[in-house]
Amino acid sequence: MTLLQVEQLKKVYPDGTVGLKGISFELEAGEFVAVIGPSGAGKSTLLRCLNRMVESSSGTITLQGNTITKVKAKQLRAVRRKMGMIFQGYNLVARSTVLTNVLHGRLGYMNSLKGALGLFNKQDTELAKALLNKVGLSEQMYKRADELSGGQQQRVGIARALAQRPALILADEPIASLDPAASQTVMQTLYEACKADGIACLCNLHQVEVAKKFATRIIGIRAGEKVFDGAPEQLTDEM
Ligand code: ADP
Ligand code: ADP
């Protein structure tokens, strides 16, 4: 089943910089795809256009059969709930507990602030705990987020994204700040979680070796254009 269709997506920033020159691809439900390319290629721009953090200049984005390129604020919130985001810098609330951070994914930030006053419902809390168990962080549940190592913080980021019950995860350089060992653990955790729940993932990476190890498909972009789209074993050295 086709989950996402991207057609001729272009982005020109207000200062005239071309972020994307017209990118097209489709994503099947549950596919784990690495987006690779040098710095400045347009990887972040692509993910940001997909969740409408950045407005594309032209082209269409269709998610589960609905065109989302033009939807307004209220609908956009519903669309964004289907797309879990994972960031290079984790973007956790540093002074909140690990568990509360995961509940932010479940409830949205404002609602989970209310929840922090003792109003979290049991079902949400149980789900968040189960997700923390899945990413191997049950022991860290009540620690402050900033007490954790980088790799652990990113696994909280994964649990927070999963808590949204997304159809798609957009991960923007999730391991760029991590050492090789933590990178492997984070990618393994992300890969297994997506696979277990049939969640598709678009993961920006600049390490080709990591992309080849984990992704079932690789999209290569360079200077705002798609230059490769295929199986990892078809990727040649010049990418
Ligand atoms: P990354 O390493 O994640 O690609 P950058 O250092 O390129 O991040 O960019 C950091 C921030 O600055 C991002 O929000 C990006 O959108 C913005 N940015 C990048 N290039 C420009 C530019 N030429 N003009 C304005 N903002 C930019
Ligand atoms: P990547 O994620 O592959 O490093 P980006 O999507 O961050 O690439 O950047 C693609 C191009 O768009 C780069 O030339 C970058 O400088 C530019 N860019 C990114 N964000 C902005 C921005 N906010 N304003 C202007 N140019 C930007």
108 — alpha (psi -120 to 50), left (phi > 0) or beta?
Answer: left
Residue 133 alpha carbon to ligand 2 centre in Å: 36
Residue 39 alpha carbon to ligand 2 centre in Å: 9
Nearest Cα residue to atom 14 of ligand 1? 44
Is 37's C-beta closer than 6 angstroms to any atom of ligand 2? Answer: yes
Beta-bridge partners for 23: 9
| pLDDT tens column, 157-191 | 999 999 999 999 999 999 999 999 999 999 999 99
Ligand 2, residue 173: give the atom nearest the CA.
2
Nearest Cα residue to atom 25 of ligand 2? 13
CA distance 6 to 8: 7
Residues with CB under 6 A from ligand 1: 15, 17, 44
The ipTM value here is 0.79
pTM, whole model, 2 decimals?
A: 0.90
What pLDDT is stored for residue 236 in this prediction? 80
Residue 85 alpha carbon to ligand 1 centre in Å: 18
| pLDDT tens column, 187-232 | 999 999 999 999 999 999 999 999 999 999 999 999 999 999 999 9
Nearest Cα residue to atom 11 of ligand 2? 19
For residue 41, what are the CA distances in angstroms to 19, 23, 46, 204, 231?
7, 12, 10, 11, 20
